[in-house]
Amino acid sequence: MNERDDRNCSAFSLPVHVERACVPPVKCQGIKTKLVPFLARSIAWHGEGRWVEPFAGSGVVAFSIAPPRAILAESNPHIVRLYRGIQSGQITAMRVRGFLQREGAKLAVGGAEYYYEVRSRFNRNRDPLDFLFLNRSCFNGLIRFNKSGLFNVPFGHKPNRFAPAYITKIVNQVDRVSGLLKRTGWEVREADWRETLNDVSPGDFVYADPPYIARFTDYYNQWEDGATNDLLEHLDRISCGYALSTWSHNKYRRNVLLDMAPRGCSVVTEAHFYHLGATETLRNAVEEALIIRSDHAVCGSCAGEC
């Protein structure tokens, strides 16, 4: 999937050309699948430390860049439980295939009624395979929980969702990320982003992809505007390089966060379109922005701020 797939791990570094992303089995709001090539060519990092993601989400960036060592930290325990199950070998591609075949057949017969049965079952038992089933059959691939921690996304109105080809697609995604998660230098942890940033070392690189102000508000833990300010302050204090994903502007307005970026940062932008969102108004063209500590920005790609 990228230029260094055949290289020895010790030769890993960024920037690198990524032809296409390694699509993960989990869908998330604001997933960076189409932005991975932009991210991979905009960051300069020697790769000797750990790639650290305090908001791992689906994990698409780490899976696509494939560093030798990584920390995927996420506050949503259900994503963590699924990926830890894949990493340990408890959840295999073969097991996922059998599960989705059985549950998909029941969904085809029962439709919405069976979807809500599985949703209730998941909210009782927290089974990671039920989580995967819901994520791939709910409305618009959203991950949303209410204040009581219950998954509350409605049915996606596709009872025949789990056709053989679609199941094979998900199984292949599980198989691909399984190999990456089983690398000895990868850790999947359930943690608050502050705890994760407090654990970085000078040789690491942090890629932060928090919920976007005024775009994605349905996070597992509520995300307020003040949390973004707190995150910027924490990033400015860490001992290693970092990049922060946010949005630059759309047809309505500019993101004020860019004016709050720490001094000594560079800003790179790329046009993007979000297909995931709770409402149609959240599925529009937007200019994606990457705020990078300047000594880790690829020269020539910055917005005149190097």
Looking at the structure, do residues 66 and 152 belong to the same domain, yes or no? no
Q: Would residue 181 count as lying in a domain?
A: no
Contacts of 221 (CB under 8 A, 6+ apart): 75
Looking at the structure, do residues 284 and 220 belong to the same domain, yes or no? yes
Instruction: Read off the pTM.
Output: 0.88
User: Taking 80 as the threshold, does the pLDDT of residue 10 lie above it?
Assistant: no
Looking at the structure, do residues 288 and 199 belong to the same domain, yes or no? yes
Looking at the structure, do residues 261 and 203 belong to the same domain, yes or no? yes
Looking at the structure, do residues 221 and 282 belong to the same domain, yes or no? yes
pLDDT of 263:
81
Asked if 296 and 264 touch (Cβ cutoff 8 Å), the reply is no
The domain that contains 127 carries what CATH number? Answer: 1.10.1020.10
**pLDDT-wise least confident of 149-153, 156-160, 166-170, 287-291:** 287-291
Q: What are the pLDDT digits (tens) for 175-208?
A: 999 999 998 899 999 999 999 999 999 999 999 9
Using the 3D structure, point to which of 175, 206, 240 is the last residue of a domain: 175
One-character DSSP codes across 102-171: HHHHHHHHHTHHHHHHHHHHHHHH--HHHHHHHHHHBGGG---B-TTS-B-PPB-S-TT---HHHHHHHH
Calculate the dihedral angle through the C-alpha atoms of 224, 219, 27, 69, rounding to the nearest 10 degrees. Answer: 80
Using the 3D structure, point to which of 175, 207, 242 is the last residue of a domain: 175
Q: Would residue 290 count as lying in a domain?
A: yes
- Look up the domain containing 278 and give its range: 9-75+191-296
Looking at the structure, do residues 117 and 148 belong to the same domain, yes or no? yes
Q: Would residue 146 count as lying in a domain?
A: yes
Number of domains into which the chain is organized: 2
Residue written as tokens 């990092």?
Answer: 45
The one-letter amino acid code at 130 reads D
Band (257; pLDDT cuts 50, 70, 90): confident
Stretch 115-121: mean pLDDT, rounded? Answer: 98
Q: Would residue 210 count as lying in a domain?
A: yes
Using the 3D structure, point to which of 141, 175, 209 is the last residue of a domain: 175
Highest mean pLDDT among 1-15, 116-130, 223-237: 116-130
Rounded-to-integer distance, Cα 267 and Cα 244, Å: 10
Q: For the stretch 185-207, what's the b/e string if a residue is b when 16 or more beta carbons lie within 10 angstroms of its beta carbon?
A: ebbbeebebeebbebbeeebbbb
Looking at the structure, do residues 103 and 157 belong to the same domain, yes or no? yes
The domain that contains 291 carries what CATH number? Answer: 3.40.50.150
Q: Would residue 184 count as lying in a domain?
A: no
Asked if 78 and 126 touch (Cβ cutoff 8 Å), the reply is yes
pLDDT of 283:
54
Q: Would residue 237 count as lying in a domain?
A: yes
